[in-house]
Amino acid sequence: MFTRFEEYAATQMLGHPDSPPRKDGKLVFDAAWQRTVFGMALALSKQGHFEWEDFRQNLIANIAAWEHEACDGKTSWDYYERYTMALIATLEHCEILQSGELAQQITLNDASQ
């Protein structure tokens, strides 16, 4: 039994298709945004905004969708890109995020740079 959400959440993924990249017992992030999005999903679920299992099922479905893409024009594998898509889908499903809001925020961020 796990008393810590972080360990429960990561353990649910291990040995399954949504298992995160790791090396020498540690999570592997190639860029800061990957670390951020991984932590965001964990933090939001830990706070009770959605069930971890619901997010996982979205992630597994997103990974399966990539696997079934036609080889011709298939984008290269990016675990955290799929992870981001799954988080967005989960947030939209539980109505924390409205359709179009994220695109507006990206435009806003671009304009302020």
Partner 1 sequence: MAELFDYDKNREASSAARVRALEALLIKKGVLGSDSVDAVLKHFETVAGPFNGARIVARAWMDPAYKQRLLDDTPTAIAELQFPGMTGAEGEHMKAVANSESVHNLIICTLCSCYPWPVLGLPPYWYKDPVFRSRGVREPHAVLREFGVMIPAEKEVKVWDSSAQIRWFVIPERPANSEHLNEAQLAALVTPEAMMGVALVPSPSTP
User: Does 22 participate in binding partner 1 (rule CB under 8 A)?
Assistant: yes
- Options 18, 37, 58, 62; binder of partner 1; rule CB under 8 A: 37
- Residue 40, amino acid: M
Name the segment binding partner 1 (CB under 8 A); options: 54-62, 66-74, 81-89.
81-89
Name the segment binding partner 1 (CB under 8 A); options: 34-42, 55-63, 65-73.
34-42
For 46, phi then psi, to 5°, come to: -60, -35
Residues 90, 50 contacting (CB under 8 angstroms): yes
User: Does 70 participate in binding partner 1 (rule CB under 8 A)?
Assistant: no
User: Does 110 participate in binding partner 1 (rule CB under 8 A)?
Assistant: yes
Place of tokens 């961020």: 109
User: Does 102 participate in binding partner 1 (rule CB under 8 A)?
Assistant: yes
Q: Which is nearer to partner 1, 68 or 108 (CB)?
A: 108
What are the CA-CA distances from residue 19 to residues 51, 88, 100 (Å)? 17, 18, 29
Give strand ranges (E) for 3-113.
22-23, 26-27
